[in-house]
Amino acid sequence: MDSSLMRGSSLAATYPRLNPRVRSAPARNAAPDGDRRAAAFREHAPVYVRHPDKESLWRKGRLLVCDRPTGRCRCLVESAVGEHRGGMTEEVIVSGDAVFARDINQPDADVDNLMSGIAADNDAAIVNLLRARYEHDGDKRIYTGCGADMILSINPWEALNPGSLTRADLGTGERAAAAAPPAVAAAAAWHAERRDAPHVWTLASAAIQGLRRCGGRRAHTICACGVSGSGKSNASELALSYFAGALEWDGNGADALVCTRDVLESFGCAGTRRNPRSSRFTRMVEVLLHLLPGGETRVLGAQIDAFMLERSRVHRVHPEPETNFLVFEQLRAASSESPFGCLLPAAAIEDARRSEEFETLVAGLEKLGMPAETLQSVFRVVAGVQELSQLSFGASSADEGTALSFDSSRVADLLGCPNSTLHELLGSRRIGSVNDSATVVVNFNAKQARRSCNELAKSLYARLFAWLGRFMNGSMSPSG
């Protein structure tokens, strides 16, 4: 979950399914419950039918027969998506809870708010409207209003022009154009035009207006919620791009806010089955505003609180398409001419995209004011964590008192600590009092040493991630 401390609202809704055994709640502006149910079960009544093999796929159809004792319905539905759209050509038998009433007079794709008279008493009708808005004349309308202070957003899985929400010439690839300079400029134009179409920027603008109405006495929050891959991070970054582009800042906080995106994405995102750039942490961004007379608003600074990092990912074996945090792949893809190119062995296959992302990451850290020697230390820790997770230990000896044989010199060099100290830390533990003469050293077996190594790798990476958060906050903190 991503949230920005500005404005918030919550929605608790239940969409009743049309089951002959369960009383269905009436839709907004709909006929009384009894009449609606009777019409819904009338022969050839328009319905939505959930595909029996794919629960997420809804089709338009007409009800043929409903067997009330068993709750089974026989329906005629549209053929597969893309074939004979609009023609009822396939007959299916489903349970009653897989059938929803369909309003044939449902508003078209020009309806930009679900509360604008739409009789949407079930999720199938809402999904149908969202699809219609997205496909209408290639407009790619990914935002739909849901009342005054909420929008529903779908992930198009492609780069869109953030202002007009049409297909954009912003390049291809998985990296969305949320906080890139085009988004910041587009947000400034959106603010100047005072547009009110459903958009993250409309929510951000409404949050600022709400803050002004209460005289700044109550904080407002924008909260992005959804499943993995639904676009929460992108929506959060778009909201931040509005504050960076539409408002005046003290100092260079706006540029710093934009740069934090690349840092958090590299160090906190990883590939999963649902999302190749999934955020494996939670963040809250607090923006401090100064309300000036005459309607002007000035940003004094911002703070990012990143927490709940999935630190166990640094040492696990990841089957495709799962990956480690992106920074490890990016560091491996660093150019040999880069001062960081020798920290980790180069990837077997050259990855130009990861190499470009690494250059963007380094440039962002430099813009945040990180000195060259600190940059070197940061990436040496990253390389050290990677080498720790791949450190191999010899098989345990039959004699339990025999120390393990392993080479930790490379890790010690990267982390800048004595090899003897690291070797002892990973391969043994001390039992006893503080007095050295009363201390007993117990050697680890291979399994225990592996566990000790993993814990050290997790702790180092989590501390590095927390330190980066404090460093970024220092670049965006109020000047006075």
At what angle are helices 200-213 and 181-193 packed, to 10 degrees? 60
Q: Is the pLDDT of residue 2 over 60?
A: no
Report the largest interatomic distance among the alpha carbons of the chain, rounded to a whole angstrom. 91
Q: Is the pLDDT of residue 468 over 50?
A: yes
Pairing outcome for strands 282-291 and 2-5: parallel
Q: Is the pLDDT of residue 177 over 70?
A: no
Amino acid, res. 108:
D
Q: Is the pLDDT of residue 142 over 60?
A: yes
How many residues does this entry show for the chain?
480
Cα→Cα distances 396→403, 419, 423, 443, Å: 8, 21, 16, 10
pLDDT at 32: 39
Band (pLDDT 50/70/90 cuts) for residue 229 is confident
pLDDT at 107: 52
Q: What is the average pLDDT across 455-474?
A: 95
Question: CB–CB of 90/77 below 8 Å?
Answer: yes
Q: Report d(CA 189, CA 197) in Å as an integer.
A: 14
Q: What is the average pLDDT across 174-179?
A: 41
pLDDT at 17: 30
pLDDT at 83: 41
Band (pLDDT 50/70/90 cuts) for residue 37 is very low
Band (pLDDT 50/70/90 cuts) for residue 56 is low
Name every residue whose Cβ is closer than 8 Å to that of residue 71 and which is 6 or more positions away in sequence: 19, 20, 21, 95, 96, 97
Q: Is the pLDDT of residue 50 over 50?
A: yes
pLDDT at 172: 35
Q: Is the pLDDT of residue 82 over 50?
A: no
Q: What is the average pLDDT across 333-347?
A: 86
Write out pLDDT tens, residues 380-413.
999 999 999 888 887 655 455 677 888 899 999 9
Higher pLDDT, 67 or 3: 67
